[in-house]
Chains A and B, each alone.
Chain A
Amino acid sequence: MIWKDRYKLGVTLIDEQHQELFTRVSDFVEVLRSSVPWEQRVEKVNETLNFMKDYVVTHFHDEEKYQKQIGYPEFAAHKKIHNDMVKYVAEVASQYERDGYNEQLMQQFAGKLLAWLINHVASEDQKVADFVRKGVVEDE
Chain B
Amino acid sequence: MNNPLYAPFFNATRDVFKLMLDLSNISDKPLLDKDVSAQDSKINIEIGIIGDLQGKVIYHFPKQTSLEMVKIMSGMEFSEIDDFVTSALGEIANIISGNVMSTLSVQKISCDILSPHILNETGDTTEINYEFESGMQICTDIGSVDLNIILNTK
A32 at the interface (CB under 8 A from B): yes
The answer to whether B74 touches A114 (Cβ under 8 A) is yes
Q: Is A86 an interface residue (CB 8 A)?
A: no
Residue-wise interface mask of A (23-52) relative to B, using a CB-CB cutoff of 8 A (1 in contact, 0 not): 000100110110000000000000000000
Top 10 closest pairs, chain A to chain B, by CB: A111-B87, A115-B91, A111-B88, A107-B83, A111-B84, A108-B87, A107-B84, A112-B91, A115-B88, A122-B19
Task: Tell me, in angstroms, the Cα distance from A94 to B83 when the chains sit together.
Answer: 19
Interface residues on B, range: 20 to 34
Q: Residues of B contacting A115 with CB < 8 Å?
A: 20, 73, 88-89, 91-92, 95
Task: Check B20 against A118 for contact (C-beta < 8 Å).
Answer: yes
Residue in chain B with minimal CB distance to A123: B19
Q: Tell me the minimal C-beta distance from A118 to chain B in angstroms.
A: 5
CB contacts (< 8 Å) of B54 on chain A: these are none
Given contacts A29-B74, A111-B84, A122-B20, 4 further A-B contacts (CB under 8 A): A26-B75, A110-B84, A112-B88, A119-B92
Contact of A33 among B73, B84, B92 (CB under 8 A): B84
Known contacts A118-B20, A119-B20, A122-B19; A30 and B76 CB within 8 A of each other: yes
For window 116-139 of A, CB contacts with B under 8 Å fall at 116, 118-119, 122-123
Rounded to whole angstroms, the CA-CA distance of A122 and B92 in the bound complex is: 13
* B86 CB–A CB distance under 8 Å: yes
A residues adjacent to B (C-beta < 8 A): 1-2, 26, 29-30, 32-33, 104, 107-112, 114-116, 118-119, 122-123
Chain A contacts of B70 at CB under 8 A? 111, 114
Q: Are A107 and B82 in contact (CB under 8 A)?
A: yes
How many contacts A-B (CB < 8 Å)? 66
Contact A114-B19, Cβ < 8 Å, known A29-B74, A107-B82, A108-B83: no
Residue of A nearest to B78 (CB): A33
A-contacting residues, B72-117, CB 8 Å: 73-76, 82-92, 95
Chain A residues positioned under 8 Å from B90 (CB to CB)? 111-112
With a CB–CB cut-off of 8 A, which chain B residues contact A29?
74, 76, 84
Please tell me if the beta carbons of B84 and A108 are within 8 angstroms of each other in the complex.
yes
- Chain A hits for B20, CB < 8 A: 115, 118-119, 122-123
CA distance A50 to B150 in the complex (A): 41
Which residues does chain B contribute within 8 Å of A109, judged by CB atoms? 87
Q: Is B145 an interface residue (CB 8 A)?
A: no
The answer to whether B75 and A1 have CB atoms under 8 Å apart is yes
- Residue among A1, A104, A108, A109 with the highest chain B CB neighbour number at 10 A: A108
B84 touches A1 (CB 8 A): no
Q: Would you list 10 pairs from A and B whose C-beta atoms are within 8 A, ordered by A residue? A: A29-B74, A30-B76, A33-B84, A109-B87, A111-B89, A119-B16, A119-B19, A119-B95, A122-B20, A123-B16
